[in-house]
Structure 1
Amino acid sequence: MSTERRLRPPGLAYGGDYNPEQWPEEVWAQDMALMREAGVTMVSVGIFSWALLEPSEGVYDFSRMDKILDLLHENGIAADLATPTAAPPAWFFHAHPEALPVDSDGRRLSYGSRQTFCPSSPAYRTAALRIAGALAERYADHPAVVMWHVHNEYGCHNSACYCDTSAAAFRKWLKAKYDNDLDALNEAWGTAFWSQWYHDWEEILPPRATGADPNPTHRLDWRRFCSDELLSLFTAERDVIRRAAPGTPATTNFMVMHNFDALDYWRWAPELDVVSNDHYLRSTDPESEIDVALCGDLVRSLAGGPWLLMEHSTGAVNWQPVNRAKNPGEMRRNALAHVAHGADGIAYFQWRAAKAGAEQWHSAMLPHAGTDSQIWQDVVQLGADLRALAEVRGSTSPAQVAIVWDWNARWAMEQPCQPSAELRFQDLVRHWYAPLWEAGVAVDFIHPDTPDLDRYRLVLAPSLYLVDDAGTANLTAFVERGGTLAVGFHSGAVDENCHIRLGGYPGAFRELLGVHCDELFPLLPGVQVALTGQVPQDATADLWTERLRLTGAEAVARYADGPLADVPAITRHAYGNGTAWYIATHPDPTTLAALLERIRRQAGVRPEREVPPGIEVVKRRGTDADYLFLIDHAGRGAEIPADGVELLTGKPVVGSVTVPEGSVAVVREPLPGPSAE
């Protein structure tokens, strides 16, 4: 983040999306009073207000926004001012129907919702930059505006458009990537297969619906293009704003959540002044607190430090088959867990629950029931909590363990025609992340090419199906210099073009891991195999097996039954000054937890604090103090060793701190001073 473009409000920001245009003006004064009562310090405004700000092309009405921003400033509430470009108005599509998106089956979609535009549309880009520029010029110096919120949730509903305009933009992107060399593209895409060879750039189309399975490299490049095309829209709007307001930071809200994979956020994050994220729980996830932590750690890693939670929910959301309400205390635990994992601000969608529209059943800070509600009491309590934790702002999250995460590997592995359609990238990563979370071990996420891996003792690659030569060399060098690396099954299989690395599996990592596999044996759903060796009694695995032979590694565990009985399943290999482990199957959670505990202890990684099951422990480090977050998800309470001050109550802590049942404690522990000579 540029030092010239940092978020200015002190302490931890608190607020949500504010949509006063949905309500009569007489309600606004009540909103201000209630925001002050709740401790709100910043709200996002104008996100879906294009039709009101620009009622016809080039004709603006800023009267409503003028009043809103002035009112916020008068009440000491900062504004994260949005460009409203996620929801173009009806007049735009009436004038430019060609800007509507086309799906892979060739159907042109209609307007009447949000994000129903083609990302490659010149007309959309022109209109978006026009409204962004008009807003930036008018409000660049408004004292309420402390940040610009560009667009909203890029790619949420229109991550890809398959129209002819998009096809032309795709070809332009491909020409740049392959240096205008069509032979290079044919080689990279393997177009000799199924007579897909291209003799002219104009022959290339998006991967539209076909009668058989698509070309995997074609589809992978398409995913890359779609991410880059949306990124170009963000940077174009950001640059328009920067010309008018060079000192005000700009963000856009990422969607690092389980089911969203449209954008390569490693490419996006460096373009943001402040990295922000939206996160919503899945009602079907019985341990959603693990997803909160995983996504928070990933966003913090993308940001390289603190970040902002731009949206989450006080209770139920509106878009899942069953939208469950949060349990008592869950809203507070969720919010403070995000802070524990690096968030310097907490915000919700939205401030006041809508009475009309597609999200009328989405929870809010001020629910339909008003202030006579449990949610409102929890909102006010959370505001007090965040004020008490103000000093945590800017602190970092030290970690000795890193997990490799790559959107290219995810896109490639989850394509059709894999050895198993049961593989889900984020499920595989979470399978490894969960036991570290349960043990209280801090985790960063890294790209395979991330430099300076020596700051970690242990690197884990649970699922790295695709890896380029640079990533392979980077991870290998880390082990050679003395690091410990653990690699999951079906990793290293293909290069950056989705070409199989020939000579046996696990491809790029065969030498490093000291193993050779000549055939993959994915398991049918519901099938398990037993494991024997240095694993817990009754250890099992499912989903995946491989026929391995050792080429320098030692077998830590073998299959006890099935077609691969006595074949190595888990191996360890001394390589250079370090150690490389290979987990060639999908162990049950207990077995994997025991294995990862052994691996991390041998690497010299210890938990932050020994805690009972169900207590989440996370540390943020400030200039002269650590901040120990203790969150009770089990509802049993605990007494945890600590010394310092419990910030939520202001009480001193000597020897231990009490974590109330289902609640949170945050202890400021002074860092030890320099040792005496």
Structure 2
Amino acid sequence: MILGVDYYPEHWENDEIERDFARMKEMGVNTIRIGEFAWHMLEKEEGQFDFSYWDDVLDKAENAGLDVIFGTPTATFPAWLSRRYPEVHSEDIHGQTRVFGGRRQYCFNSAKYRELSERLVRKLVSHYSKRKSIIAWQADNEFGHEGSDMCWCEKCESAFRKFLEKKYGDIDSLNKEYGTIFWGQTYNSFDEIVLPKETITVHNPSLLLDHFRFRSNSVEEFARVQLNAIRECKGELQVVTHNFSGGFFEKAFDFGKIADQLDIVSYDNYPVWGGLKEPVSPAHTAMAHDFMRCLKDRSFLIVEQLMGAQGHDIIGYLPRPLQSAMWSWQALSRGCSGMLFFRWRAMDRGQEQFCLGIIDHNDREGRKFREAKGVFEKAASIGSGFESKMKSEVAVVYDYDNIWSWRIQRASAMFDFTTEMIRLYRPFHRMNASTDVIPANRDFGGYKVVAVPVMQLIDEDLSERLKKFASQGGTVIFSYRAGIKKRNNNVHRGIVSPGLISDLAGISILESESLQQGQDARLIGTDGSTGSCSVWRDMVDAVDAEVLYRYDDPFYKDKACITVNRYGKGLVYYVGGGADDLTMDTMAREIAEGAGLTTHASPEGLELVFRTMDCEDHLFYMNHTGKAVTYEGEEIGPFASGEFQPVLNPAKYMD
């Protein structure tokens, strides 16, 4: 099992390396991650490659019994490259060049940058292809992070035109699909199309969606060049990975398209970052792990696990004692099979002086050292068991075209896609029901419940697969604005919302409205309960469906917000607004009982994950609160985490 730290030996004097390695071994480290920002050290001048420094580091690592994940350093290019080839730089939306000095300033469509990156990668990987200590190559670093997935330069504009010409073949087809007759925007040729920079009002929604698809394709192709180079040059036993950043639903590329090119997915896990007064919710972090696990439907690595306070300029929340260990255990329980803490030692210079790690600037082995050591000791006792496949009964689905469609037209100023994903994910997380987060084109067979948050782009293929799933006894949950658009980001014409799933949901919607900050719509349940919704509300007419909640509104008291429809052997729920947590919890409990989901009741803030590993049952716990809680007669301290030994009442957790 990979247990390690992110290490930057080039930041320190050479005589400190062996001391660092000795301390790492004491902590339980067996793997280090190195090299990802070392382009200048490897190629100080163009074409002059020097691997001597890293040869020495690897010799020392091998002598210490440490394995290595080596990062290709293409996320930060050297100053000589910037000066000699200024055309590799990306541009912001205002046409300003992103100058040398930060990171990821390259344009994904720069042929020169692809050429120089590929040459470096081939030289580096070939040089170390026979090093047994190098167990993995990490391509680049956090593709597209920090806004680097968007570039507005002439290279991108030319590539965008070619992308559209390849897709549509002729300009008349594009004009028809886009509806460019509106506002008199008809094109005579692809050369007239410009990148959608700032303009008066807004750009055409279909053009904007194609632009996101083009951006995703640009990242995919850049990654493909580098990953192919690694595969052609690497050693037989060396695997290929990439460390994805968080915020995956806010990026302009489909993570799944990159994951398809990897042997194993890696993730950088930061439940809190600079400027945040508190961590994101436990459900948010859990959903991220479920997303990463499902990219390749197998276990994943975490190559940056937060330990200390973080921030480039604004320092964030300080993880409380045992809290980082608890986040580590949460990741391990949800599919992580190898973990490296970020970082071994805090740097005293440069942009990340305030990114703290295991060892702070004082160079002392304190609480965080002991905390990380405890994680490694517990994790090592399970080892390869963490690679065991997880079986989930619930799936929450997403589609990047749909995500980008929402970014183009938010409909409500209060809309946030990730929030709406969590709105349907959180109630099942609260019941400790194992959940997958999968793309909408996956097979739904094997699940009992499929949740489809704010899926406004629903085509015939998806609608038919959902109908088949429900007819065979599955439960489907839709939330608002479902099915209103076609795949090209244009609204359906001539059919009533929710479009192709109207008969599946047993409803029709003729009117809707967005809700603004502080504006909630009150709900009344048919059982007398009350609730509210925010962000949006569909005025739902129940055609065949049963009404669960109506609006408490004198103008719309005959309109429903939440309905359920019997479809074949299954049930289909429609939630026509951003329903409050209590309402969603009530509905989810009803769904869980009806669908026969395996759930585990626990005190508020105590997350439980039940897994079978190598034919043995395991029940993991994470206390996300700063106070002790009691479960099954056992007291679990603040931010405590681990595994119940033995599993408490195992029959209780089995179907």
Q: TM (normalized to structure 1)?
A: 0.91
Give the aligned residue type for 1:623: D
Cα 1:516/1:319, change in 2 over 3 Å: farther
Tell me whether 611-620 or 182-191 shows the greater mean CA deviation. 182-191
- Give the aligned partner of residue 325 of structure 2: 332
- Give the aligned partner of residue 231 of structure 1: 220
- Give the aligned partner of residue 665 of structure 1: 642
Give the aligned residue type for 2:373: V
- Give the aligned partner of residue 496 of structure 1: 487
- Give the aligned partner of residue 512 of structure 1: 504
Matched, 1:382 2:359: no
Matches within 5 A, 1:65-84: 65-84=54-73
Distance 2:528 2:16 in 1: 62
Gaps of 5+ in 2: none
Distance 2:235 2:57 in 1: 23
**What's the CA shift string for 1:541-570, capped at 9, x where partnerless?**
222212221221121111122532231111
Deviation at 1:421, TM superposition (A): 2.2
- Give the aligned partner of residue 177 of structure 1: 167
Cα 1:615/1:199, change in 2 over 3 Å: same
Give the aligned residue type for 1:227: S
Give the aligned residue type for 2:48: V
Deviation at 1:231, TM superposition (A): 1.4
Secondary structure of 1:235's match? helix
2:473 is aligned, of 482, 487, 490, to 482
- Give the aligned partner of residue 617 of structure 1: 608
Secondary structure of 1:205's match? coil
Give the aligned residue type for 1:209: E
Secondary structure of 1:152's match? coil
**% same residue:** 28
Deviation at 1:105, TM superposition (A): 1.3
- Give the aligned partner of residue 513 of structure 2: 521
RMSD of the TM alignment (CA)?
Answer: 2.1
Give the aligned residue type for 1:69: L
- Give the aligned partner of residue 561 of structure 2: 569
1:532/1:560 contact within 8 Å kept = yes
- Give the aligned partner of residue 593 of structure 2: 601
2:629/2:636 contact within 8 Å kept = yes
Secondary structure of 2:290's match? helix
Cα 1:536/1:17, change in 2 over 3 Å: farther
**What's the CA shift string for 1:584-626, capped at 9, x where partnerless?**
112211111111111222112130x332222100123223112
Secondary structure of 1:455's match? coil
Gaps of 5+ in 1: 1-10, 642-655
Matched, 1:447 2:439: yes
- Give the aligned partner of residue 286 of structure 2: 293
Cα 1:242/1:391, change in 2 over 3 Å: closer
Distance 1:261 1:213 in 2: 20
- Give the aligned partner of residue 370 of structure 1: 363
Give the aligned residue type for 2:383: A
- Give the aligned partner of residue 653 of structure 1: none
Give the aligned residue type for 1:306: S
1:256/1:299 contact within 8 Å kept = no
Distance 2:528 2:56 in 1: 66
Secondary structure of 1:539's match? strand
Matches within 5 A, 1:60-209: 60-157=49-146, 158-178=148-168, 180-209=169-198
Secondary structure of 1:108's match? coil
Distance 1:213 1:504 in 2: 26
- Give the aligned partner of residue 631 of structure 1: 622
1:483/1:577 contact within 8 Å kept = yes
**What's the CA shift string for 1:464-490, capped at 9, x where partnerless?**
122332222221221122211010001
**What's the CA shift string for 1:393-415, capped at 9, x where partnerless?**
31122210100122221111122
1:44/1:79 contact within 8 Å kept = yes
1:585 is aligned, of 570, 577, 588, to 577
Give the aligned residue type for 2:503: E
Cα 1:116/1:328, change in 2 over 3 Å: same
Deviation at 1:218, TM superposition (A): 1.2
Tell me whether 300-309 or 369-378 shows the greater mean CA deviation. 369-378
Secondary structure of 1:214's match? coil
- Give the aligned partner of residue 232 of structure 2: 243
Give the aligned residue type for 2:412: S
Give the aligned residue type for 1:83: T
Give the aligned residue type for 1:190: G
Deviation at 1:156, TM superposition (A): 1.0
Distance 1:48 1:460 in 2: 40
Distance 2:587 2:191 in 1: 53
Matched, 1:28 2:20: no
Q: TM (normalized to structure 2)?
A: 0.94
Deviation at 1:535, TM superposition (A): 5.8
Give the aligned residue type for 2:186: W
Give the aligned residue type for 1:386: A
Instruction: Give the total of aligned pairs.
Output: 644
Give the aligned residue type for 1:470: D
Matched, 1:422 2:414: yes
1:254/1:278 contact within 8 Å kept = yes
Secondary structure of 1:547's match? strand
Cα 1:72/1:535, change in 2 over 3 Å: farther
**What's the CA shift string for 1:313-371, capped at 9, x where partnerless?**
11211147451111121111011101011000112332211111111101112221222
Tell me whether 568-577 or 376-385 shows the greater mean CA deviation. 376-385
1:160/1:226 contact within 8 Å kept = yes
Tell me whether 372-381 or 614-623 shows the greater mean CA deviation. 372-381
- Give the aligned partner of residue 268 of structure 1: 258
- Give the aligned partner of residue 396 of structure 2: 403
2:525 is aligned, of 518, 533, 537, to 533
Give the aligned residue type for 2:594: Q
1:342/1:620 contact within 8 Å kept = no
Distance 2:28 2:209 in 1: 46
Matched, 1:302 2:288: no
Give the aligned residue type for 1:389: I
Secondary structure of 1:598's match? helix
Distance 2:596 2:271 in 1: 34
Give the aligned residue type for 1:112: G
Distance 2:592 2:69 in 1: 42
Distance 2:321 2:371 in 1: 9
Distance 2:411 2:302 in 1: 37
Tell me whether 390-399 or 161-170 shows the greater mean CA deviation. 390-399
1:45/1:79 contact within 8 Å kept = yes
Give the aligned residue type for 2:268: D
